[in-house]
Amino acid sequence: MHGLFLGTAKKMVKIWRTTICDLTHELYLTDADLKEMQKEANDIILPAQYTPINQKIASDFSDLKADEWRTWCLALSPLLLKSRLPVRHCLG
């Protein structure tokens, strides 16, 4: 669990936060995107097995634990990234 959720997920967020999109000439995920995603995440009712991510998206995913990365990967990112990343980044 730690390898996937602490390693891969964290690396993908870092890439999206530091790479400029060819189409928009902006970062894939801006500070404004993070704030909007946090607001949306706060309104999502998570199943009991997921750990809430309270204000950690807006603070650039700071200090997320493995179980919080699991929440991000499995429950939140499919909903929150769909309208923010190019389609090719969202395909599984």
Low-confidence ranges of the chain (pLDDT < 70): 1-4, 89-92
- How high is the pLDDT of residue 91? 63
Non-local CB neighbours of 44 within 8 Å, separated by 6+ positions: 75, 76, 79
pLDDT value at residue 16: 94
Q: Are 87 and 39 spatial neighbours (Cβ–Cβ below 8 Å)?
A: no
pTM for the full predicted model:
0.86
